[in-house]
Amino acid sequence: MEKEKCDVLIIGGGGAALRAAIAARENCQGRVALVTKGALGRSGCTALACSDRMAFHTTLPYTEPGGQDNWRYHADDIYRLGGRVSDYDLAEILAKGSGEAFAYLDELGVPFVKRADGRADQFVTDGSIYARACYTGPHTANHIETALVKEVRTMDIDIFEHCMIADLILSTDGRVVGAIGIWENRNEFVIFDAKAVVLGTGGAGGAFKVSVFPEGMTGDGYAMAYRAGAELVNFEFIQFGLSSVTTSLACSGSMMRAIPRWINDDGHEFLRDYLKEGTDLSEIYNIVFNKGATWPASADAPSHILDIAVWHENRRGQSVYLDYRANPEGLDFSRVDEKIPQWYREIKDIDVSKLEFAESPLARLRGINPQAIAWLKERGVDVAAGEVIEIAPAAQHFQGGVKIRTRADTTIKGLYAAGEVAGGQHGAMRPGGNSLMDSQVFGKIAGTSAAEYANSLSHRLTDKRINIALKTVKEKLNFTQGLPATEIRQRVQDILSTYASVVRTINGLNEGLQRLSGVQSQGLRVDEKGWVYALETLNVLTVGTLILEAARRRPESRGTHLFFKSEDVTNIYFSKLTTDLSNVPTDEKWQKYIVLKKGADGLIYEAREPVTEKF
C-alpha cells in the first residue's frame, strides 16, 4: 500500500485550498502536499462557478465611505446580515484582510475590472450598504482559480490529483495525524502521514436535487470532520437561489432586472397566484426587479415569495421558466417603482420608456448584460432565439461548516479549515461576494497556522492507527446487503429537496429525518459507480442528517432558514398555498448558533452564544 509523508496536507483544489497551500509552503519547514478529488484547475466550485457578474467582496482604502477604519462597516454588514449568529471577531478578520487578499490576486494577474483612474470598479451586492464588490465578469472565480493554480505549480508543493480523502486518521489523544485516500480510477488506498491537515473541500450541493455546485461537491470535509469529533456550526443555514436547471447559472442581477415573464408548463403567469388578492401587477414586477439584488431566499427580503412560488409549482408537478420573448402581463414602466427606470438610466444609461427597451425583456437583457445571453447560448440555451430558461430553487452556498476560530483552527488539534467547509465566520446570510473573499483570507490563515503547528512537531502516525482507520473504511466498502449507492443518493436528494430547502416546518423536518433514518438503516452497497461514489454518498447521508437535525432545532426564521408553522405537513408541501401563509418571525431569544458534534451515544447539540461586537 502506498504511503506519502508530509508536514502539511491540504485537502481540496479550490480557492481556499490553493491559497492555504501557498501560505503553507511559504511558512513550512518541511513538505507540503495538496490532494484533490478531481483535476486541479478543472474541478470544484472555484474553477467552474459562474454568475451574471461574480463578485469578490473587498474593502480597499478608497472603498466607500472611505477612511482608515472603513473596514468596520464591512465587518458590521457581515455580522448584521448574518443575523448576529456568527462570531464578530471572525467578521473583523474577513473585513480587515479583504484588501490584502484582493491585492495579492491582483498581483497574480487576476483581470479585475478597473476604472479610468486605475482603481477597482466596485458595485453594491445584496446585503451591503456600500459598493465593495470587485469582479472580472461572469468568470471571476475561474480567473482566481487559474491564477492560484499557476502560482502553486511554481512552488515546491506535491500535488495528488484524482484522489479522494476517505477519512482523517487520529492519534490516541485525538489529534489529526494523517488521512486515508483512495485513487479514483484504480480503487487502491494511499496513506498520508501528516502533522497538520487543512480542509478546503467546499460545500455539499450534491445533497440536493438542484444546485449550482459542480459534480463531486458532496460535503466530504463536513462528514470527515464530524466523524473525527470536530464541532460544526450553523448547519441549518444554506443559501438557495433561483437558478437555471440545465446550466446552473444563478439567475440573479440582470436576469431578474430585465423583468421577464414567469410561466409554468401550462404557459400560465403564476406569480399573482401567490400574492394577496388584489395586489397590483406593478408591485409584482417591483419584487421581481428587486430580486436581482436579493437573490438568495431570505427571511429578511420580501422577494423570498418568488422562491416559495417556484418551489410550490415544482411540488405540484409544474416546471417553471423565465421567458424573455415578451413582456409579462400588464408591465408598464410608468407605474413601477421609480427606482427601476432610475437604475436603468444611472447604471446602464438606458431609457426604458423607449420602445427598443420597453418592448421585451430580451431587449433589456441585451442592453444590460449581453454576456449572459452569449454564455447561455454556449451552453445550449438560446434566449435570443426565443428559448426559455427552466429555473428552480438551487442550493448555492453552505453558510455554516466546521467551526473555526481566529487561526482557522477547529476543535480538533492539527485540523484547520477554510472556505465553504468552515463555519462561524458567516451567520444566517452573507454579503454577495464574501464567499470568494473568505476563501482567500482564511485560506492564507489556515495554511500559515497549519505550517506553524507542523513546524513544532514530529510525525506521530503509527501502523496501529492506520489499521484502525483502514478497517473502518473497508467495512463501509465491503457491505453487500444494502441499497445501491445510486439509489441512496437519489433518495437523500429527494428528502432534503422536499423538507429542507426553501420551505421548512417542524413536521416536515421531523418527517424528513425519519425517512432519512429509514434509508440509512438499510445500509449502502457499492454499485457500478465504484468506491469513490459510494463514500461520497455516505458523506451526503451524514450531511443530510446534520442539516435536518440543525434545522429542526431552530423554531424561528432567520436569514436563509425560512421556518413555517404547520400542524399538517401536507398542507404546505403538497396542496395549494394559502395567501396568508407567512414564515415564523425572527426571535431574539434565538440569537445563538447551533453547534453539532458527534458524541459517544450519537449527536450532541448546543445552542451557544456567539462572539459579539466589542462596542
Domain boundary, last residue among 412, 436, 464: 464
What pLDDT does residue 566 have? 67
Q: Are strands 158-160 and 189-199 parallel, antiparallel or unpaired?
A: unpaired
Sequence letter at residue 140: T
The answer to whether residues 434 and 534 belong to one domain is no
The answer to whether residues 446 and 520 belong to one domain is no
What pLDDT does residue 347 have? 85
Residue 193 φ then ψ, to 5°: -90, 110
591 found inside a domain: no
Domains identified in the chain, total number: 3
Rounded-to-integer distance, Cα 449 and Cα 27, Å: 9
**184 pLDDT exceeds 70?**
yes
Cell numbers describing residue 140: 471571476
460 found inside a domain: yes
Reference 529, options 486, 473, 487, 490; nearest CA is 486
The answer to whether residues 42 and 90 belong to one domain is yes
Cis bond before residue 260 (omega within 30° of 0): no
The answer to whether residues 47 and 135 belong to one domain is yes
Q: What angle do CA 254, 258, 264 make, to 5 degrees?
A: 105
What pLDDT does residue 127 have? 82
What CATH number is given to the structural domain containing 95? 3.50.50.60
**What is the DSSP-derived secondary structure letter of residue 468?**
H
The pLDDT tens digits of the residues spanning 578-590 come to 445 578 899 999 9
Rounded-to-integer distance, Cα 569 and Cα 132, Å: 42
What CATH number is given to the structural domain containing 498? 1.20.58.100
The answer to whether residues 205 and 263 belong to one domain is no
512 found inside a domain: yes
Q: Which domain holds residue 559?
A: 479-575
Rounded-to-integer distance, Cα 34 and Cα 41, Å: 13
| β strands within 467-549, DSSP E | 483-484, 504-505, 524-525
Cell numbers describing residue 159: 500535488
What confidence tier does 138 reach under pLDDT thresholds 50, 70, 90? confident
Rounded-to-integer distance, Cα 358 and Cα 364, Å: 7
253: CB partners within 8 A, 6+ apart: 51, 52, 53, 292, 293, 295, 369
The answer to whether residues 209 and 356 belong to one domain is no
612 found inside a domain: no
593 found inside a domain: no
As a whole number, mean pLDDT of residues 195-201 equals 99
**What is the DSSP-derived secondary structure letter of residue 172?**
T
119 found inside a domain: yes
What pLDDT does residue 292 have? 92
The answer to whether residues 228 and 212 belong to one domain is yes
581 found inside a domain: no
The answer to whether residues 58 and 176 belong to one domain is yes
Average pLDDT over the chain, rounded to whole? 94
**419 pLDDT exceeds 90?**
yes
Pure H helices in 292-419: 304-315, 339-348, 355-358, 361-368, 370-378
**150 pLDDT exceeds 90?**
yes
* Residues in the chain, overall count: 615
The answer to whether residues 139 and 279 belong to one domain is no
